[in-house]
Copies of this chain bind each other. A is one copy, B any other.
Amino acid sequence: MGPDTQTQDLQNRMNHVRNVLRESGLKLTHQRLEILNEVCKADDHPDAETIYRSVRERMPTVSLDTVYRTLWLLLDLGLINALGPSRERVRFDANTEVHHHFVCRKCGVIHDFTSPELDGVQIPEAIRDLGQGEKMHIEVRGLCRDCLKDKASDC
């Protein structure tokens, strides 16, 4: 993928986000566009502080709070992803049998599940180039039954 294609991609991306924001009745602020631009340019999974520092080069008065708010907003809109669950503390699991987790994105409850298909999944060969794989974590995120019920009764 050449630099032209990449630039084109970024343009498309920016336009798409502009549309989503507009359709959601959200304002297209300079801050949001700069932050979006930075997170789209990065391919190394930056944290909020790193994005903050980059944005500040072009926009010295931007606040860290705005960076956080904007990133959570883009996440809610499904325009970016987050690694390592936010607002969560570490939780411990003494169950060492093979099993996986369903994590509720609203209340944070974690349920175990097993699944013949997933239980059999092995660490793929492809990661040999990246390092030595030790453990695989498979996690499904969504809304638990209780939170679905709460949402339904909000009408």
Chain A residues with CB under 8 Å of chain B are: 13, 39-40, 42-49, 51, 71, 75, 79-86, 88-96, 101-105, 110-115, 117-118, 121, 123-124, 126-127, 130-145, 147-148
How many chain copies does the complex carry?
2
A131→B148 contact, CB < 8 A: yes
How far is A141 from B110 in the complex, measured between Cα atoms in Å? 20
Evaluate whether A144 and B131 lie within 8 angstroms (CB atoms) in the complex, with A88-B84, A93-B45 already known: yes
Which residues on B sit within 8 Å (CB–CB) of A95?
43, 81
Evaluate whether A96 and B117 lie within 8 angstroms (CB atoms) in the complex, with A123-B140, A135-B141, A143-B132 already known: no
Which residues on B sit within 8 Å (CB–CB) of A138?
136-139
